[in-house]
Structure 1
Amino acid sequence: MPAGGALDERLADELDRAGVSLETSAAALCSDPAIAAGHMAALQCFDQVTQVLGEIAGVLRRRVAGEDPLTAIRLDALRARMGQAHG
């Protein structure tokens, strides 16, 4: 495992946990029709953040595996932002 690999793996796990927490919170809020109707845009942000967290966790795991971390990012906007920082 590369230097920092254990830390990257743990950070990825924490990002996954945060994503699950956001998904659970969003589901609870969406179960109330009044909240869902009045705050749909804000609730969609939960989903977007959850997706970004998952993508970043995947980047960390690909780095640990010695793979190019950016090639498999599925979210175009995130890939573009990370590509600018990468190089």
Structure 2
Amino acid sequence: MWISRFDIRPHTIAHTADTLADFGAVLGVRLFPIGTEQQDSILVVDEHGRVFALDQAGEWFLGDTIDAALTTLLLGRAPARVRDDGTWPVG
């Protein structure tokens, strides 16, 4: 993968409430916007502190915590793709 440029500015993506509600329903949790990744993906955190990226290609699990997600983004690690049933490969 590659290192991703991101912005942590929730107010810039406040208009994504419907998208977050739909993905949150799949996961069974509430989601909150935290920023964008390269202006293409929406970065969100769930009520358990897990971080995801949503883009036109799908939904991606970045980490169990903000620290883990930032490590994924800053080191260019490949995120796990979230399946249609709201799960993702662990490992």
Q: Under a length normalisation based on structure 2, what TM-score does the superposition of the two structures give?
A: 0.24
Q: Under a length normalisation based on structure 1, what TM-score does the superposition of the two structures give?
A: 0.25
Highest relative contact order (Cα 8 Å, sep 6+), 1 or 2?
1
Q: Of Structure 1 and Structure 2, which has the larger fraction of its residues in strand?
A: 2
- Bigger Rg, which one: 1
